[in-house]
Amino acid sequence: MAVHLKKLSVGAVSIDSLKSWQDRLTKAGKPILHPTRNWPRRAEELLDGGCIYWIIKGQMLARQPIADLVEITRADGRAACGIVLHPPLIPVWPRKHRIFQGWRYLEAADAPEDLPQDMSSQTAMPADMAAELRELGLL
Q: What is the DSSP string of 29-94?
A: T--EEEEESSPPTTHHHHTTT-EEEEEETTEEEEEEEEEEEEEEE-TTS-EEEEEEE-S--EEEEE
Residue 134's pLDDT band (boundaries 50, 70, 90)?
low
CA distances from 103 to 7, 53, 54 (A): 5, 10, 10
Residues 19-68 have pLDDT tens digits of 999 999 999 999 999 999 999 999 999 999 999 999 999 999 999 999 99
pTM: 0.83
Nearest to 86 by CA among 40, 39, 51, 43: 51
The per-residue pLDDT for 102 is: 86
